[in-house]
Structure 1
Amino acid sequence: MKRWRRALTIVVRLTPFLIAFLRDRRRWILLGRRRRLPYEHHERRAQRLAATIASLGPTFIKLAQVFSARADILPEPYLSAISRLQDRVPPHPTEEIEAVIAAELGQPLEAVFAEFDRVPVAAASLGQVHRARLRPQLDEPGPEVAVKVLRPGVEELVAVDLEISFRVLFVLNILFPNHHVRALTNVVREFSVKVREEMDFREEAAHMAQFHQNFARDARVRAPRVYTELARRRVLVMEWVQGDKLDRLAGRFASGELDFERLMETLTEIYLRMLLVDGFLHADPHPGNILVTDAGTLIFLDWGMVVQLSRSTREAILRLALAAGREDLDGMINGMYELGMIDPSISRAEIRDAAAEVLEILQRVRELGTRRVQEMVQEIMDTFYTWPLILPRELVYFFRAAALLEGIGFHYDPRFNGIELARRVIRRMRGDLLRATAREPVEVARGLVDEARTALHGVREVLRRAEREEFRVRLHPRDVMHGERFILLQVRRLLLSVFAVGTALISSIIFVALENVWLLAAGLLIALIMFVVAFFIPTHLLENPLRHARRVRPPGEWPAMR
């Protein structure tokens, strides 16, 4: 019963927004032109959407945080509205939290902790953190620790919410099989895996250990030490770290205790190394998750969600970046295919236009020099929304980190130039980047042999199909659009004409049987209207604007407006 009540709550609260989005694309959902609404209207709707998501609880708040960087699915101002959602909730009753800790550790709190602060220092949708002190050992005071506890009942709630979400998406994919619905489904599917990992604190402990290993030789950065003997699925005990959040360093910069430029260079280098060298990226970047100690060491917190990149993915990202740097359109397109950014149904000609648009944005950045990273990223994101491109999740989280770093830099210095800073850091890291993506000769040879074997198999398949006359010619929708319109027009005319003739015949039969002249007149009038409809309504009412690869928006129409 509770499951059905929860499903009804979700559907009732989100359906008005779903209908509004569908009507934005077609005024009458299945028929009509795209609605052109003022940007202020979308801003008001975005605020209502954010409030509704917040009211639906932890699953949807966490999911909204993922969508806040997916400009290939949602445009502005919806991204800004949901990105401001705070993952903060009232603390859970301490008695229940203590019961979870005792059950997970298999002993009472008093046996493990000498002190335990019943008031949490932080409370989020999935868990909350309490400050404590371990019991003394060998006559030495126990160390201060942070105890992270999963909120009771949150696993069941997330499971129910995800089940309901997948059922709704299943229906949407049947009714509206387009690029945005497919992308939405993929994001929710990936989120369902990640959020389950995030609710197992043993995974977080493993992530922190991996980060320690990757940066073992770098004294500038670390993560809190985990007490592995006290790490459980729903409880994680780690060292208590004292430090200032990234957005609260103004006093230390003003006093000269910290060097602003050096700190920003260090942060940029760390994120580039995580993305392109280690392939192990912190996936929840925000100022509250990065502390700066009194010694100037950076402490990365909250390792529940990470993104791991294979070497081939890192190589593809680097090749795409290098191709963009030398303005090589074909190289950019090949990189997009390697990263899975292109829907297989899209023609290469269409993708050249999309790649050219991204290249034009980068050229403008080079010419102006002082453009903000966030502006550049937003323009590239708008390109993903305009074209049916799929934004790789690895780049989603990296773009989020880039926006965070520039936001911090701009907070302290309005003249901060994140693009120029990134260029300096990349030039300094060039050797590390090349070594990280370089392959051993044996590995290269093995790859060439595999590619040759694949190519030979492809040639054999082509010859086999040629012998059996099984070749198929595939035309892209853009190339047959005019023919499609003509066929739609003729089919529409034929069907409506048949209905009109049938209506006229039925009316005549009724007139003969009942001798009712009004029924005859009404039937003939309906038949006449059908004939008029058949020959004068424009064909665009039968088209699906999401079916074709490019959806062109008139200049100034949402979401291009700022």
Structure 2
Amino acid sequence: MRALVIIARLFPLFVSVLRDVRRWIWWGAPAVRDAAFHQRRAQYLLDTVTALGPTFVKMAQIFASRADLIPEPYVSRLSTLQDRVKPVPTPAVRAEIEKALGAKIGTLFERFDDTPIAAASLGQVHRARYQGEEIVVKVLRPGVEELVAKDLSVAVPLTRWLARRYPNPHMRNARTVIEEYSSKVGEEMDFVLEASYARRIRDNFKGHRKVAVPRVIDTLVTRRVLGLEYMEGVRIDRVEAGPGEEAHDPRGVVGTVMELYLQMMLIDGLFHADPHPGNLLFSPDGKVVLLDFGMVVDVPREMRWHLVTTVFAAIRRDTDGIIAGFERMGFVEPGADMGKIRELADALMKLAYEKTTTKERIELLADQVMAVIYDFPIRLPSEMVYFARTAALIEGLGTRYDPRFNAIMFASPIAVRMRARIMASLSDEAGRSPVDMATVVGAALGHVAGLAVKAGRELLGRWFAAPASESSSVAVAPTSPASTVVSLEQRRIAAGPPAPSTTPDKTLAAGD
């Protein structure tokens, strides 16, 4: 019965989208669609997803952060889903907590607020007072596991069939998003696992001057109920600049968010995979607070290495390096036409460095890339689903405060500043040494600063080997990024095989 409801709801949308390509489904020119039509269909999509319930709301929220898969006005409409989830009635919430914790609400808490401070597709959050401390209590929606399982038993096979029936990279990427969500949603509904992730991420940022993670209340951890320290703050997308107060500088806040995610992605290998403004707060003491650890991804060290080399290739505008990174990370379809891959990489790099507003860059993307995206043999590895969502979050935050915000140009000096920690975390992967990493980072430094290494082997060795602060610098003479790579590689070869790394794989607090 549920399958029939889902198909009946989605079928009109499916037919409508098919007619975008062929007016009579299998033949004919594309149907003419004006802006008003897309607005109406976006609203219909929003209403349909809301009616279908938690599973489809959550998947739609993921797609709302993927402007590469769905265009405006659909992205804007779906982004409002966070404000459209109805809370669970109070009696059901109380019963769920009492069943999970084995005691009455009045016995457990000195105060329990029946009105939730947040209601999401899978659960909701209430404030309470517990043993003299202000906390939050996260509760799983009653019956949500069964509903999600039923919905995915329809959605996953349906998406796979569509990907076979319409075999283009765009449809395959959509299938990847849904399959990855299907594989992770079970973890998101296990609060014992979420508590363990919260503890690990809190440890990774222990002592950080600009990032805070709530403490788990160990006596309030079950599979369906989770207690956490209450942390006050405003949503990250509602920060207002305060005159003369650096802590309230929106650009500084975006920089902290960028550093936060770069550390998780490239250093810790433990990545918060549900980035949206509701999961990030800005506290009164000027810290970015990270919330909700239901979707967390372990990033293998090998993938982190490939990410690092690709990121720094993008920073120095090295198209060959980007293409090599795409191949290593599994972006490129087997037997792909590498000419088309180069065409895509060149177009993306040109757009990334355009000195225009993000809106203008998106329009250029639509004109230059999305119009022929079906010809590009690109697929999306599962980890990239979450990295793409993070990129969308940061781009959205940046453009809220600066219409000309450019995420790549903004991230470049931050990534370079973090070079020592990145090098330390990757130094023992597959025999790679800090010197190998220095080759990658050195090339990026040559581009970002417009400088290159001209000092002798002894000075270079001291710079990369010494535990200097990340703000240290070396005065060098201008040269090209390519010559930087060559000089560093020559030094590595001349020095012989690197000794085994003794650098511990740990994260330093910012400013250490």
Separation in structure 1 between the aligned mates of residue 50 and residue 231 of structure 2, nearest angstrom: 30
Q: Which amino acid aligns with 1:256?
A: E
Note closer, same or farther for the CA distance 1:57–1:249 as it changes in structure 2 (3 Å cut): same
Q: After superposition, where does 1:258-407 map in structure 2 within 5 Å?
A: 258-260=247-249, 261-362=251-352, 364-365=353-354, 368=355, 371-372=356-357, 376=361, 383=369, 385-386=373-374, 387-407=376-396
Note closer, same or farther for the CA distance 1:297–1:330 as it changes in structure 2 (3 Å cut): closer
Q: How far does residue 199 in structure 1 lie from its aligned partner after superposition?
A: 1.0
Q: How far does residue 147 in structure 1 lie from its aligned partner after superposition?
A: 0.8
Separation in structure 1 between the aligned mates of residue 52 and residue 387 of structure 2, nearest angstrom: 28
Aligned residues: 429
Deviations 1:95-122 (A, max 9, x none): 2211111111122223321222222222
Q: How far does residue 133 in structure 1 lie from its aligned partner after superposition?
A: 1.5
Q: Judge conservation of contact 2:191–2:225 (CA < 8 Å) in 1.
A: yes
Separation in structure 1 between the aligned mates of residue 235 and residue 276 of structure 2, nearest angstrom: 10
TM-score (norm 1): 0.69
2:155 corresponds to:
165
Q: Judge conservation of contact 1:320–1:335 (CA < 8 Å) in 2.
A: yes
- 3-state DSSP class of the match of 1:92? coil
2:204 corresponds to:
214
- 3-state DSSP class of the match of 1:228? strand
Is the aligned partner of 1:62 residue 2:48? no
Separation in structure 2 between the aligned mates of residue 257 and residue 203 of structure 1, nearest angstrom: 37
- 3-state DSSP class of the match of 1:258? helix
Separation in structure 1 between the aligned mates of residue 260 and residue 160 of structure 2, nearest angstrom: 40
1:430 corresponds to:
419
Separation in structure 2 between the aligned mates of residue 257 and residue 329 of structure 1, nearest angstrom: 37
Residue identity (%): 43
Q: Judge conservation of contact 1:373–1:403 (CA < 8 Å) in 2.
A: no
Q: How far does residue 380 in structure 1 lie from its aligned partner after superposition?
A: 5.8
Deviations 1:410-463 (A, max 9, x none): 44456766554323322322222333333368568xxxxxxxxxxxxxxxxxxx
Of structures 1 and 2, the larger Rg is shown by 1
Q: Which amino acid aligns with 1:202?
A: V
Q: How far does residue 194 in structure 1 lie from its aligned partner after superposition?
A: 1.8
Q: Judge conservation of contact 2:85–2:120 (CA < 8 Å) in 1.
A: yes
Q: Judge conservation of contact 2:275–2:389 (CA < 8 Å) in 1.
A: yes
Separation in structure 2 between the aligned mates of residue 420 and residue 175 of structure 1, nearest angstrom: 40
**Alignment equivalent of 1:119, drawn from 104, 115, 118:** 115
1:242 corresponds to:
232
**Alignment equivalent of 1:148, drawn from 124, 138, 147:** 138
- 3-state DSSP class of the match of 2:275? coil
Deviations 1:326-371 (A, max 9, x none): 4443332221111111122422232222222223324x52xx3xx3
Is the aligned partner of 1:232 residue 2:228? no
Separation in structure 2 between the aligned mates of residue 414 and residue 98 of structure 1, nearest angstrom: 45
Q: Judge conservation of contact 2:315–2:409 (CA < 8 Å) in 1.
A: no
Note closer, same or farther for the CA distance 1:133–1:439 as it changes in structure 2 (3 Å cut): same
Separation in structure 2 between the aligned mates of residue 345 and residue 420 of structure 1, nearest angstrom: 33
Separation in structure 1 between the aligned mates of residue 83 and residue 145 of structure 2, nearest angstrom: 16
- 3-state DSSP class of the match of 2:227? strand
1:458 corresponds to:
none
Q: After superposition, where does 1:171-210 map in structure 2 within 5 Å?
A: 171-210=161-200
Q: Which amino acid aligns with 1:317?
A: L
The answer to which structure, 1 or 2, has the higher relative contact order (CA under 8 A, 6+ apart) is 1
Q: Which amino acid aligns with 2:270?
A: F
Q: Judge conservation of contact 1:324–1:359 (CA < 8 Å) in 2.
A: yes
Note closer, same or farther for the CA distance 1:125–1:258 as it changes in structure 2 (3 Å cut): same
**Alignment equivalent of 1:22, drawn from 5, 18, 33:** 18
2:9 corresponds to:
13
Note closer, same or farther for the CA distance 1:441–1:157 as it changes in structure 2 (3 Å cut): closer
- 3-state DSSP class of the match of 1:224? coil
Deviations 1:142-180 (A, max 9, x none): 212111111111111111111111232344345434433
Which runs of 5 or more residues in structure 1 are unaligned?
136-141, 445-562
Deviations 1:508-551 (A, max 9, x none): xxxxxxxxxxxxxxxxxxxxxxxxxxxxxxxxxxxxxxxxxxxx
Q: Judge conservation of contact 2:136–2:229 (CA < 8 Å) in 1.
A: yes
* Structure ranking higher in helix proportion: 1
Q: How far does residue 51 in structure 1 lie from its aligned partner after superposition?
A: 2.0
Note closer, same or farther for the CA distance 1:324–1:91 as it changes in structure 2 (3 Å cut): closer
Separation in structure 2 between the aligned mates of residue 378 and residue 68 of structure 1, nearest angstrom: 17
- 3-state DSSP class of the match of 1:253? coil
Q: Which amino acid aligns with 2:86?
A: P
1:89 corresponds to:
85
Note closer, same or farther for the CA distance 1:232–1:248 as it changes in structure 2 (3 Å cut): same
Q: Judge conservation of contact 1:357–1:383 (CA < 8 Å) in 2.
A: yes
Q: Which amino acid aligns with 2:21?
A: R
Q: Judge conservation of contact 1:343–1:389 (CA < 8 Å) in 2.
A: yes
Deviations 1:496-518 (A, max 9, x none): xxxxxxxxxxxxxxxxxxxxxxx
Q: Which amino acid aligns with 1:405?
A: I
Q: Which amino acid aligns with 2:8?
A: V
